[in-house]
Chain A
Amino acid sequence: MAVRQHISQRVSIVGWGSVSPLGCDAESTWQSVLAGRSGISSLTAGWSDDLPVRISGCVPDAATKSLEPLLQRRSDRCAQLGLLAAREAWAMASAAIGGIDPARVAVVLGTGIGGLHTMHEQHNQLTEGGPTRVNPLTVPMLIPDAAAGQVAIDLGLHGGAHTPVSACASGAEAMMLAQMLLNDGRADLVLAGGTEAPVNRLGLVGFSAMRALSTRNDSPEQASRPYSKDRDGFVLSEGAGVLAMMREVDTPTDAALGWQLACGSSSDGHHIVAPEPQGIQASRAIEDALHRAGIEPSDLCAVQAHATGTVLGDLAEARSLRRSLGHATDHIPVFAPKGQLGHLLGAAGAVEAIIGIQAIHEGVLPKTVNADPVDPAIDINITTKQAIKIKSNKDQYMLKNSFGFGGHNISIVLSASCRS
């Protein structure tokens, strides 16, 4: 059967919101990225004392404390973070567009795990207090789709609520589904992104048991080291990112902050957590995205890498980029934001995509913190020393990767007008 790939209809991004270890909103997160700040710190709460990993990236307390007390009580932190990001994105989009019919607005909010804190806490209730002490909201708080549902409830949206669950590719997959919904005419505006709140005993122990996490407990700000020869695993972080998207043809003049041209996807079909070591299927996702965007590797001004700081994952991604981008790889700068953010799992794709568009718009590709010294086996052009100016006043294209346990590969081509 002949392979049919279509050029995608690009969609406009007309609003965004994020909460991350670097800030309570998208702008403060971006400013922290630019300033080179780290979102990673030591866990000081007593519950972490006996854990092998005692570092993480946490959202500032002020963010969730701003939520109504009833929402704090009746929703998991995962949904709370998603709601905060969605409210910000919705407010921004509403101000730019106006007159949006809620029946034509969909929510696509992915997560890798969902309400892990609730699961952990209520299991403790069960074992310590018995069956009568388990919260009746246990299930509605821990289900992965709770965040999408809460956003639709909170904002009164009726155009469908969806939850892709593809581990650390969930947020990026949500962006792909959003484009499909828009181009299929199922919605006129989509709030798309990801949310994750895995920083608790069960989350840290679970990832730690598989030796996925950095154990640099004494130097948290240096622990997340994408592409570095000294990398020893990722740092578990929490947060959420949501982008408001609509068809370009419907977008009012000057309302677009940027565009999503196309998404590519593939599956490793290899191992439940280990990446296929040569990055062959990751390459297919990258090439799929470029083809659907109708651009060549030489058209890219930058790559925003998935690069979590694991030995195997970073190497496989670097190989996939070298294979797919060919000689252009020598000239295309690669930025890996997890050096500052840590790994936001299912939220990573969306939070980082917002940073990517901000970078193109501002004409500055940030430095990749902690990448230096780069692993000699990594043969790509990483921004290790300093931020790089993105030149030109025409629309610029950035490739963004997101990969997840289970072998999920998503690549996205983003664009914005560079104002410099």
Chain B
Amino acid sequence: MVLAEGSPDKQELEGRLVEILHRISGADPAAITPDARLMEDIGIDSLGFYEILIEADTCFGIRIQEEQLLQFKTVSDIQNHLASLDTDPSNAQTA
């Protein structure tokens, strides 16, 4: 599944991000709120962060830079980052 054409609206992107984080962590989707902390609240470990990187590439066609990845603390950090890339197409690469 690659979003090579057009861009997902914010709500769709958030929904799919929750789905990805649920798959990676096994956490209850209801607990994956914007304020939830990735490690402490959702249980994503260090390898899980790199899974996020692959899933963003595979599902959204977005390559998150590693230095950005390691700064994510909460779900909204990822959402905001994806949204910022989405508004600047030059930053997004399709798979």
Contacts and interface: CB of A to CB of B under 8 A. Distances in A.
B47 A132 contact: no
Interface of B: 23-26, 47, 50-51, 53-54, 57-58, 63, 95
Interface of B: prevailing SS: helix
Contact of B26 (A68, A132, A135, A140): A68
A385 interface: no
A136 interface: yes
A399 B23 CA distance: 47
Nearest to A137: B47
B51 A137 contact: yes
Contacts of B53: 132
Contact of A136 (B25, B51, B57, B63): B51
A70 B26 contact: yes
Interface in A126-157: 129, 132-137, 140
Interface in A356-384: none
A26 B50 CA distance: 38
Contacts of B25: 70
Interface string A272-284: 0000000000000
A270 interface: no
Interface of A: prevailing SS: helix
B23 A132 contact: no
A46 interface: no
A136 to B, nearest CB: 4
Contact of A133 (B23, B26, B47, B54): B54
A154 to B, nearest CB: 14
A129 B47 CA distance: 19
Given A70-B25, A73-B23, A136 B58 contact: no
Contacts of B24: 73
A241 to B, nearest CB: 27
A135 B23 contact: no
A132 B54 contact: yes
Given A69-B26, A70-B26, A73-B26, 11 more contacts: A73-B23, A129-B95, A132-B53, A132-B54, A132-B57, A133-B57, A134-B54, A136-B50, A137-B47, A137-B51, A140-B47
- Pairs A-B, 10 closest by C-beta atoms: A70-B26, A136-B50, A136-B47, A137-B47, A132-B57, A136-B51, A69-B26, A133-B54, A73-B23, A68-B26
Contacts of A136: 47, 50-51, 54
Given A69-B26, A73-B23, A133 B50 contact: no
Nearest to B93: A132
B51 A133 contact: no
Contacts of B57: 132-133
A203 to B, nearest CB: 25
B81 to A, nearest CB: 17
B42 to A, nearest CB: 12
Interface string A294-326: 000000000000000000000000000000000
